Amino acid sequence: MNAIISASDLANDLAGANPPVLLDVRWRLTAAKAAGEPPYDGRADYETGHLPGAVYVDLDRELASAPGEGGRHPLPDLAHFGAAMRRAGVSSGTPVVVYDGGQGWAAARAWWMLRWTGHPDVRVLDGGLPAWEGPLEKSVPTPEEGDFVPEPGAAGLLDADAAAELARSGVLLDARAGERYRGEVEPIDPVAGHIPGAVSAPTTENVRADGRYLPAQELRERFKGLGVSEGSRVGVYCGSGVSAAHEVLALAVAGLPAELYVGSWSEWSSDPDRPVAVGPDPQ
């Protein structure tokens, strides 16, 4: 099963006998704002127009727990996550399609959470809301309660120690912008640089200008150039486990399984005892 779906294929599926549950996960990374400027409100955007039947999911409150030692977007309490998914109508036997405002990061985080906790049929709308050419609606639906119960998988998740080991024994990709990887700037976290041994692999290079993923073969060639081959053990991190999920999804499109370090740089850099590398060289 492909991890992404085109807008035209989604329209066909919605008109079919077993339409997918739609999750709207609009979200933006917001650093410090000028005094008086409110943070981005994904729910407000959702209420101005969303795919028919879509239910809003709050990334900060339902796909993550409060920031702390585990980073800026640590894993949510799984009972809370499961309740949010059931409220949205998610059942184990029903396909799910997730979308966001077009960047793809938040949708990928929802995709990864559902896949990691055992849902068998989850896809991301390629290109997000801007790719959709059908009607939008403003009414907020109340779907029938779903039956999905999250059951975390044994594989697919890295902690800090496992990420450090993977940087030595496999391929650990850093999905942040290159200047953050090199330690030239750090607008959010307390320390600049990267995990020693990690390879710079900005998420932005996985997509076209319109936010849609590159074809699978092009993605395979990109990751091959970064040291990933069939059989490689691969992990990905970013600032807080959101854009890295987008890269895990890109790897899935390319047919390459990968693990996610959810705590990412926000967790790693919070511990002064963990080593930090700077510059273009992985080490």
List active site positions.
Answer: 238
SS3 86: helix
Neighbouring-strand partners of residue 98: 23, 124
Q: Are 103 and 163 in contact (CB under 8 A)?
A: no
Q: Tell me which amino acid residue 7 is.
A: A
Helices 216-225 and 243-253: crossing angle, nearest 10°?
Answer: 110
Distance, C-alpha 85 to centroid of its chain: 16
Tell which residue, 176, 173, 241, has the closest CA to residue 204: 176
DSSP 104-173: -HHHHHHHHHHHHTT-S-EEEETT-GGG--S--B-S---PPP--------SSSEE-HHHHHHHHHHSEEE
Structure tokens at 122: 């989850």
Q: 84: which DSSP letter?
A: H
